[in-house]
Amino acid sequence: MRFSDEFLSELRERNEIVDVISSYVDLRVRGANATGLCPFHNEKTPSFTVYVNTQSYYCFGCGSGGDVISFIKNIENLHYSEAVQMLAERSGLPMPADGFDDGVAKMKRRMLDANREAAKFYHSYMMSPEGKTGLDYFLGRGLSPETIRQFGLGYAPDRWDSLVRYLRKKGYTDSELLSADLAYKTKNGGIIDKFRNKAMFPIIDVKGSVIAFGGRALDDSKPKYVNTSDTLVYKKSYNVFALNLAKRGTDRTLILCEGYMDVIAYHQAGFTSAVAGLGTAFTKEQAKLISKYADEVILSYDNDEAGQKAARKAIDILATTPLRIKVARLQGGKDPDEIIKKYGKDKMQQILLSAVGDVEFDLQRAKQGFDLQTSDGKVAYLGQAVEILSKLSNPIQWDVYASKLASELSVSKEAIVTQIEKKAKQKRSREIKDNFAKAATFNDDALGKVNPERQRNLFAAKAEETLIASLLHNPDFYFKIKDKIYEEDFATALNLRIFKLIARNLDENRPVGVTYFFQDLTDEEAGYLVRLESMRDRLGNTVKECLDCINRMKEEKQERENKNPARMSDDEWAKQFRKLSE
């Protein structure tokens, strides 16, 4: 829906951007701007910048950018109008009376209802005589009927369209079933169940809604797992399995597992704080979600090379949150299920209690490769250990681990600390260098990605960009230059479109900027525009500068035309022709 400029201005004013972003990102104020670690991509040094003057943000690492509304839209994974509503509520601004478009909200509700019905269908089918195959699968894996009920497990029939027919009868439309990814369209246009002959794990969010399903093949057929794709109500990288049950625990510690069955085995054995990612590598968004409900997380990944590698990756991601990280060493079995079955829950409890910190985990992994009886082995292990410890930012930690290593390998502690310091210093200077290199080259890369014509017309594009940036900061200049510039002076379609948006708003006496172009720009284009706007320091901010840009654009245009008229595209030819006949 369309919001008025007045409403959007008021919304922007009431939701100061640094204030809003601060509750998601740790910002450090630097002059007129604030910087922090980008919440939209994984990084260790801050390239995310918030501009107080223009109330906008831009990330030099991934190119995302926009205003306070875009930020909320992207970080909360909402639709534009939902983000507006959230900010309106946050700041006590009533939504415009001419109606908030709740079509999306309605659709989401229908999808969640359909999912709930589907979960009930799969469960009761499994409990019926016909569904015995499914029930036998879960019982065979050692699950009790109580556990099966608690997790709402089920069985999807080995037929083409049982669920589709069932839900149609309940009044759901085909388009609702397709949007919820419960069914899909075949080549000849029929609609069939997405899950067939699968053991079903409903995925339930913290509010208790069934948002998706994981389906597992009962035998060795491939693929082993079929999962709901991302839908309007489900984004797998943003959700965590069983958090709805685990969040009830009071000790603020969660056990993070690799798969559904690990989680269920833990819960059945009384460890009710187990959760799991959803079939992909663990993500930053999942880490953030977990950190809302816990202070500590114990990783319980499989005891094989693949599991340990996945654990290492998860540690890096978890390290971007305030969570304390520990790693359980699953000795005596490959996964928690096997250990509990073989040795019982007391042994499992012991393993969890003796989980080690992330640094210890890395050191132990490094140690495995070396023979510490030999001097060569010792030296090589020390080299790796120093590498690991140099990533820590806290010198007290250096000291603690250096002491341990010193007594373990009978070498001098001071020597180890000196090595770590040296390594850490090298790392820091390399990081700073990398960042400079990125800042110098990345701008153009990022802009070129959004505006593909830029690279081919670099000089013209730079002139266009300077003109646009200047007009954003000095809207009154527009009236002094508008008679001197024509559409065909532009070399890149995107810059022309942006210029026309600016012209449209100013001609109608309206404000300019991403906030007021929300209907006309994609997320990437909004980021691009903020990037241009942020070049303020490089601008002369004079009318003459704008005129220079226009002249440069005209020169470049001349050049393009002279260069090779024979190769003119049909479009360009048509443009030329229009001009001649005007």
Where on the chain is the footprint of Zn ion (CB under 5 A)? Answer: 38, 40-41, 59, 61-62
Q: Return d(Cα 136, Cα 416) in angstroms, integer.
A: 57
Alpha helices in 53-197 (DSSP H): 68-75, 80-90, 103-127, 132-140, 145-150, 162-169, 174-179
Q: What φ, ψ does residue 249 adopt, rounded to 5°?
A: -55, 150
**What is the closest distance, in whole angstroms, from the C-beta atom of residue 71 to Zn ion in the complex?**
12
**What is the closest distance, in whole angstroms, from the C-beta atom of residue 442 to Zn ion in the complex?**
11
**What is the closest distance, in whole angstroms, from the C-beta atom of residue 75 to Zn ion in the complex?**
11
CB closer to Zn ion, 42 vs 291? 42
Q: What φ, ψ does residue 526 adopt, rounded to 5°?
A: -65, -45
Other Cβ atoms closer than 10 A to 66:
26
**What is the closest distance, in whole angstroms, from the C-beta atom of residue 74 to Zn ion in the complex?**
10
Residue 212, strand partner residues: 203
What residues have CB less than 8 Å from 24, skipping those under 6 apart? 39, 71, 75
SS3 state of residue 34: strand
**What is the closest distance, in whole angstroms, from the C-beta atom of residue 81 to Zn ion in the complex?**
25
**Distance of alpha carbon 440 from the chain centroid:** 26
Residue 185, strand partner residues: 191
**Distance of alpha carbon 120 from the chain centroid:** 31
Q: Which H or E element spans position 523?
A: helix 523-533
Contact at 8 Å (CB) between 327 and 334?
no
**What is the closest distance, in whole angstroms, from the C-beta atom of residue 65 to Zn ion in the complex?**
9
Torsion (CA) 340, 344, 350, 355 in degrees, nearest 10:
0
CB closer to Zn ion, 38 vs 359? 38
**What is the closest distance, in whole angstroms, from the C-beta atom of residue 453 to Zn ion in the complex?**
24
Q: Return d(Cα 362, Cα 314) in angstroms, integer.
A: 13
CB closer to Zn ion, 58 vs 293? 58
CB closer to Zn ion, 3 vs 57? 57
Contact at 8 Å (CB) between 245 and 192?
no
Alpha helices in 329-389 (DSSP H): 336-343, 345-353, 358-367, 375-389
**What is the closest distance, in whole angstroms, from the C-beta atom of residue 523 to Zn ion in the complex?**
12
**What is the closest distance, in whole angstroms, from the C-beta atom of residue 462 to Zn ion in the complex?**
24
CB closer to Zn ion, 62 vs 319? 62
CB closer to Zn ion, 48 vs 121? 48
Q: Return d(Cα 553, Cα 575) in angstroms, integer.
A: 16
Q: Note the maximum CA span of the chain.
A: 90
CB closer to Zn ion, 157 vs 527? 527
Contact at 8 Å (CB) between 35 and 49?
yes
Closest CA to 327 of 307, 306, 341, 347: 307
**What is the closest distance, in whole angstroms, from the C-beta atom of residue 392 to Zn ion in the complex?**
25
Half-sphere exposure of residue 86, counting CA atoms within 13 Å on the CB side?
17
| Residue environment code for 221-239, b if the CB has 16+ CB neighbours within 10 A, otherwise e | eeeebbbbeebbbbbbebb
CB closer to Zn ion, 3 vs 60? 60
Residue type, 10: E
CB closer to Zn ion, 62 vs 406? 62
Instruction: Pull the structure tokens for residue 289.
Output: 């979600």
CB closer to Zn ion, 61 vs 202? 61
**What is the closest distance, in whole angstroms, from the C-beta atom of residue 151 to Zn ion in the complex?**
36
CB closer to Zn ion, 446 vs 463? 446
CA distances from 327 to 244, 382, 505 (A): 23, 22, 57
CB closer to Zn ion, 38 vs 114? 38
Q: Return d(Cα 553, Cα 490) in angstroms, integer.
A: 7
CB closer to Zn ion, 284 vs 326? 284
Q: Which residue is associated with the tokens 């209690």?
A: 353
**What is the closest distance, in whole angstroms, from the C-beta atom of residue 526 to Zn ion in the complex?**
14
**What is the closest distance, in whole angstroms, from the C-beta atom of residue 24 to Zn ion in the complex?**
13
